[in-house]
Amino acid sequence: MNDLIVIGAGPAGITASVYAARKRMNCLIITGDIGGQTILSSDIENYTGYHFITGVELAQKFREHLEQFKLELKVGDKVNLVKHEDGIVQVRTEKGEYQAKTLIIASGRIPRKLGVEGEDEFKNRGVTYCATCDAPLFSEMDVAVVGGGNSALDATLQLMKIANKIYLVDVADRLRADPIMVEKAKGSNKVIIYNNAKVKQISGDKFVQGIKIERDGKEEDLTVGGIFIEIGSTPASEFVKDVAKNETGEIFVNCRCETNISGIFAAGDVTDVPAKQIIVACGEGAKASLSAFDYISRL
């Protein structure tokens, strides 16, 4: 019987686990990877204590901090179901079943798909959801970035250093990213912006060769060797059925990171906390762990 199970090892999950270790809680961490969405960020300039650090470097710092403690860590496993019965949390994964007095759900989010013809067919063959991971593969090529928020502009700024030309395709009438990012993109002769545009199809042979977009009722074909889909994400909360969620699947939490089920807490981007930021997720993870400790202390 564990005192605590933490699902996820992104900023929220790692911070929660570190706090649990310092409270001498018997803690099990179940996660697909270490670092979560942190590794998808390129240049981070707003994490306190670092004037500048890349997402990969910060994720490594998180891992090093976590490894200072003797915590049971199961990496590469996927949670399929969470149940709460008789005051005990039951967690079923692809590789086993586990029990705990408390649970922190810090499973983060998964990239949203376009849902167009060719997307699944060319995934990892020109279609990608991670510029930080894959941008270097498209050196001196023409590529497309789909989206108009911070993640799309982050991808665009990375590709400006690598690609030959970047088509920025957004369904909205204006880009919604931070103004400083938009200014940098608009100031580059590599970036061509298509507002009010929708991707209709991704085509190619063995790899992506082009996309079809629709703008103002007219279709246009763009020749590209890669397409970076950056249209947001959805909360990874489908495995837990009984906690209250909003219409998008985000888990409702109060200021103590408590869900509607006693003993089950949630933290980070999987929750309805509005600011999806690394530093916010860390703070929420700390709060969730302290709340779990207080809950056990009262048992």
Active-site residue 257, yes or no? no
* Max Cα-Cα span within the chain: 64
- The Cα 223–Cα 210 span in angstroms is 4
Active-site residue 27, yes or no? no
- The Cα 199–Cα 10 span in angstroms is 31
What's CA 272's distance to the chain center, in Å?
A: 14
Alpha helices in the chain (DSSP H): 11-22, 55-66, 131-134, 150-159, 179-186, 278-297
CB 93 within 8 A of CB 30: yes
**Active-site entry in 120, 133, 178, 242:** 133
CA separation (Å) from 25 to 21, 97, 295?
A: 6, 19, 12
Strand partners, 158: none
Short-list 116, 107, 228, CA closest to 162: 228
CA within 13 Å, CB half, 227: 33
With residue 266 as reference, give the H or E element that holds it. Answer: strand 264-266
CB 151 within 8 A of CB 230: yes
Active-site residue 130, yes or no? yes
Helix axes 179-186, 150-159, angle to 10 degrees: 40
Q: Which residues are catalytic?
A: 130, 133-134
